[in-house]
Structure 1
Amino acid sequence: MMHSWLVLGLVVAAAAAGYDYRSQPDLYYDTWWGPEGKEEDTTIRPFRIEWDKKDIDDLVYRLKNRREFVPSLDDSAYRYGVNTHTFGFWLDYWANDYNFTAREQYLNQYPQFKTDIQGLGIHFIWIKPEVPEGKINIPVLMLHGFPGSVREFYDAIKEIQKATENKNFVLELIIPSLPGFGYSDYSNKEGLGAAEMAFIYKNLMNRLGHEKYFMQGGDWGSLITANMATFFPDEIIGYHNNMGVALTDAAFSMMSIASLNPSSIMSCDVVNRLYPLKNTFEQLTRDSGYFHVHATKPDTLGISVSDSPTALMAWLFQQVSICTRKANYDDPEGGLHRYRPEQLLDNLMFYWMPNKGPTSFRIYSNTFNLRNYHLGYLK
C-alpha cells in the first residue's frame, strides 16, 4: 500500500510537469458576476436580517409534516450517515423550541451591510471599534466556509475584541457571507470559485478604505484567503487559517515519498495525523462523498435541500459531524450534542431562509476543475 501511494505521487508529479505555471493566470479584477444590464450600487447600505412570518409558518409546517423515516440500522451510529434514531430531536427542536423572534434579534446584534461588488450584492458584518488615543486600528477580513456562515464567528467576536484590551491596537472586523451563501447574492454564471472570490474580497476591503489588512479563514475561507495572499501579497500584512492545505504537485509527491520515513518532514508527535497514509486515505474516501456530489452535480442535490428543511438539516449536520471529530463516526448522536441547539440552527437559517443551499454547493464545482488546475495559481 505504501509503495502504491509513492507511485501515485510520482505519476501526479510527472503528469503536471507539462503545464506552464509561470504564465499569469487568466483571472480578472473586474469580472462581472451579476445579471446583464444591472447597475451596480457601490454604496455601503445598512442591512438587517428579517424573517417573514409566512416563511416561518411554512418552515414549521414542513418540519411537522415530514414523512416517517426509514430506521437506521441497529448500532450503526453515524457510519451510514445521519442516524434517524437521534435525528428527530433536532427537527422537533427547530419546529417547537427554536424562538425565531429572539434568534432574529440575536443575529442582528452586530452591524451588517451590503454593497455591490462585480455585480453581486455582498453581505457583511462590519464592526468598527472606537480607537482610543495611543492605539492603532487593524482591519481583519474573516471568511467562513461550508457548512458554515457568518454565524460561526458570533461566539468569537467578543473574545477577539477582549483580547486587545491590553494591547496597543484595536481590531476592525469585516466578516462577509461568501457569494451564494447567506445574504450575499449568487451568480448565474459559471466560474465563480475560490480564486475569483479572492478578487471580490480584495475589492470589498479596498472599498472599505483598506489597502493593507490581516486575514483569517476557515474551510473555503482558508482557500480564498490563501489565494488573496498569493495574488495580492503587497496588501496582506498577515494571514491565519484553521485549515492549512498545500494543493501543489510537490506537496502530494513529498507526502507520498515521506511515507517511507514520515519523521523526515514532520515532528514525531504529529506523524499520526497523516500517517500511515492508508488511514488518511481511508478516512478521505469514507467521508468525502459530499465533496464529489457538490463538485459534479450540485444542482441535483440542490433541488432536495431547497424544497425540504429536513433534507437541508440532514445534509449540513452530516458535514458538521464528519468534519469536526473522527470519533463522531461511532457516536449515535454524531457529536452534535456538543453544540447548543441554537448554534447549529442559527447557522441553518442562513441557508434555509434565503434559499442558499443549492447555490452554496456550486463553489466546489467552480473551484475544483481542470480549468483551475491548468491555470496553475495553486502552484
Structure 2
Amino acid sequence: MPDPTRTVHWTDDALPPDSVQRFDAHIAESELDDLRARLAFARLPEAETVFRPPPGPRRWDQGVPLTDLIDLADYWRTDYSWRTFENRLNEIGQFRTEIDGLGIHFLHRRSSRPDATALVLTHGWPGSIAEYVDVIDELTEPTDPDAPAFHCVVPSLPGFGFSDRPSTTGWTTDRIAEAWVTLMRRLGYDRFAAFGGDWGGVITTILGGRFPDNLIGVHTTYAPGVPGTSLEDLTDDERAWALDAENFWTHRAAYAHQQATRPQTIGYALVDSPVGQLAWILDKFAEWTDTRDSPFETIDRDRLLDNVSLYWLMRTGASSARIYAESHDSLGPDLRVDVPTAITMYPRDIERYPRALSQHRYRRIVRWQTAPKGGHFPSLEAPHDFVADLRAGLSAILATDRTHRSHLTRCRT
C-alpha cells in the first residue's frame, strides 16, 4: 500500500496482488502548504565566489547560482501549480500493480490504432515520468496517419514517484528489467519495444540482452561498449567522445559517487529541504542540457518543477538515490544485445559513445543517429525532434522485425 504521507484515490482495493488497479493522484493540500512554508523560511548560503553576470555557463562553476535559485524557489512557492501536473497525470491514465512484493506505478495510454505497437519508456535520475508527459499523446495518436502508433507504458522506477520505496536491498537494474517484463505481460503485451536514457538506458539494454523473446527491439540514448575495448582504431572524433565519457566519471560525477556510497546521508538533506532537493536536481538539468546559460532556454520551468515536486512530495530523495548503490556499473561485461537496436547520441549528453565501441555490445544496430542538438533530457528539451527521432528508430526496428518474421514463415513453409 502507498505510504501514509501520500493521499491518493484508489479503486478496486480488493483485487488480488497480480491485478492492475486504477490510480488517481491527489496530494493533500496540507502537503502543499507545508512546501510553501518551507520555501518561505528557507535558510540560504551566501552567493558563490565565482559570480559572473548572465548569460554564460561559467556562472555555474560552483553549482547553482544564488540568484537563479532564489528566483526559481520563489516561483515554486507563489505561482507554480502542482494541481495542473496532477490533473495531467490523471488524464493520461495512472495505474499501480504489485510486482515481486513492491507496488509499481505507471502511466498507460493505449492507442486507438489497431496496428499500434506496445512500447515501454523508462526514465532515469534525476528524471521521472514527467519526462514523457509532453510526448505520450503524439506517440499514441499521431497526427500523421502514416506515422507509427504505440501503446505507451511509462513506469516509475522503484523508489521514484508513486512507486513504492523498497525496504530491503536487491532492487537492481536487472530486477527492474525483469519486473518490466512482468508488467508488460500483465497488460497483455507479450512482445514490446523499449526506450530509455540514463538508468532507463541501462534497463532498456538489459531488457534487450536478457529478454530477447519479449523484445521487438530497443532504442536507447545510452549505449556503452564493452569495458576494456581498445581505442586505437578509433578516429580522432570517436576517441574524443570516449575520452569525454571517461572524463565525466572522473571529474564531474561526484553526485553519483555520493549516491552510490552514502544515499541515506544525502537523503536526509533532500527529504527535509525543498530548496536542497531543488538545487540538487537543477544543477544537473543546467549542466546536462544543450544550453548556453540556463536549462530554461529549452525546458519549460513548470515541467522541471513538476519533476522536482514529484521527488519532494513523494519524499524520494534517499530512495531514488539508492539505485546508484544497488546498480553502479550494473551492465555486465558479457551482456550482449542481439535484438534490433536504434541508438541516438545527443551532442550535450553526459556520456556519448562512438558506434565503433557500442557495436561490440549492441550487435544488431539498425539505426545509428547523431542528433544535431539536445542533451540528456531530449524529450523535454526538444519534444518534437525527440518524437521524430524515436519514431525513426522504432520504425527501423519494426521493419527489421517484420522482415525477420516473414523469413521465419517462409522457412517453416
Q: Give the structure-2-normalised TM-score.
A: 0.71
- Look up the equivalent residue of 2:48 and give its one-letter code: S
- Look up the equivalent residue of 1:159 and give its one-letter code: E
CA distance in 2, matches of 1:98, 1:374: 42
SS at 1:181 equivalent = coil
After TM superposition, give the deviation of residue 161 of structure 1 in Å. Answer: 3.1
CA 1:280–1:186 in structure 2 vs 1: closer, same or farther (change >3 Å)?
Answer: closer
CA distance in 2, matches of 1:83, 1:127: 39
CA distance in 1, matches of 2:326, 2:310: 21
CA distance in 2, matches of 1:306, 1:213: 36
Choose which of 214, 230, 243 in structure 2 pairs with 1:235. Answer: 214
Choose which of 171, 178, 184 in structure 2 pairs with 1:192. Answer: 171
The residue that corresponds to 1:358 in the other structure is: 318
CA distance in 2, matches of 1:40, 1:193: 25
CA 1:48–1:222 in structure 2 vs 1: closer, same or farther (change >3 Å)?
Answer: same
CA distance in 2, matches of 1:317, 1:162: 32
The residue that corresponds to 2:73 in the other structure is: 91
Asked if 1:78 is matched to 2:54, the reply is no
Q: Where do 5+ consecutive residues of structure 2 fail to align?
A: 1-14, 53-57, 337-360, 362-413
The 8 Å contact of residues 139 and 149 in structure 2, kept in 1 or not, is answered as no
Asked if 1:324 is matched to 2:289, the reply is yes
Choose which of 299, 303, 306 in structure 1 pairs with 2:268. Answer: 303
SS at 1:136 equivalent = coil
Asked if 1:274 is matched to 2:241, the reply is yes
The residue that corresponds to 2:189 in the other structure is: 210
After TM superposition, give the deviation of residue 163 of structure 1 in Å. Answer: 3.8
Post-superposition Cα deviations, 1:87-126, rounded to whole Å, max 9, x if no partner, equal 1111000000112333322332201100000001110111
- Look up the equivalent residue of 2:261 and give its one-letter code: T
Asked if 1:146 is matched to 2:106, the reply is no
SS at 1:230 equivalent = helix
After TM superposition, give the deviation of residue 206 of structure 1 in Å. Answer: 1.0
CA distance in 2, matches of 1:336, 1:194: 31
- Look up the equivalent residue of 1:239 and give its one-letter code: V
* Greater RCO, 1 or 2 (C-alpha within 8 Å, sep 6+): 1
The residue that corresponds to 1:66 in the other structure is: 42
The 8 Å contact of residues 222 and 243 in structure 1, kept in 2 or not, is answered as yes
CA 1:67–1:109 in structure 2 vs 1: closer, same or farther (change >3 Å)?
Answer: same
Which consecutive segments of 4 or more residues in structure 1 shift more than 4 A? 372-379
SS at 1:321 equivalent = helix
Post-superposition Cα deviations, 1:29-75, rounded to whole Å, max 9, x if no partner, equal xxxxxxxxxx9711111011211011000000000101132111122
CA distance in 2, matches of 1:245, 1:78: 28
Choose which of 264, 274, 285 in structure 1 pairs with 2:250. Answer: 285
Correspondence 1:85-234 to 2 at 5 A: 85-131=67-113, 135-163=114-142, 165-167=144-146, 170-234=149-213
The residue that corresponds to 1:36 in the other structure is: none
The 8 Å contact of residues 298 and 365 in structure 1, kept in 2 or not, is answered as yes
Asked if 1:52 is matched to 2:28, the reply is yes
Q: Where do 5+ consecutive residues of structure 1 fail to align?
A: 1-38
Asked if 1:367 is matched to 2:327, the reply is yes
- Look up the equivalent residue of 1:89 and give its one-letter code: D
Post-superposition Cα deviations, 1:237-293, rounded to whole Å, max 9, x if no partner, equal 1110122222x22xx4323x34xxx32xxxx7x537516x3x554444332110111
Choose which of 335, 341, 347 in structure 1 pairs with 2:307. Answer: 347
Between Structure 1 and Structure 2, how many residues are aligned? 317
After TM superposition, give the deviation of residue 156 of structure 1 in Å. Answer: 1.1
Choose which of 211, 230, 233 in structure 2 pairs with 1:254. Answer: 230
CA distance in 1, matches of 2:81, 2:126: 22
The 8 Å contact of residues 214 and 236 in structure 1, kept in 2 or not, is answered as yes
CA distance in 1, matches of 2:176, 2:185: 14
- Look up the equivalent residue of 2:33 and give its one-letter code: D
Percent of aligned pairs sharing the same letter: 29
Output the aligned Cα RMSD: 2.3
SS at 2:304 equivalent = helix
The 8 Å contact of residues 206 and 331 in structure 2, kept in 1 or not, is answered as no
- Look up the equivalent residue of 2:96 and give its one-letter code: K
CA 1:225–1:40 in structure 2 vs 1: closer, same or farther (change >3 Å)?
Answer: farther
Segment of structure 1 superposing worse, 221-230 or 71-80: 71-80
Segment of structure 1 superposing worse, 69-78 or 338-347: 69-78
CA distance in 1, matches of 2:148, 2:245: 41
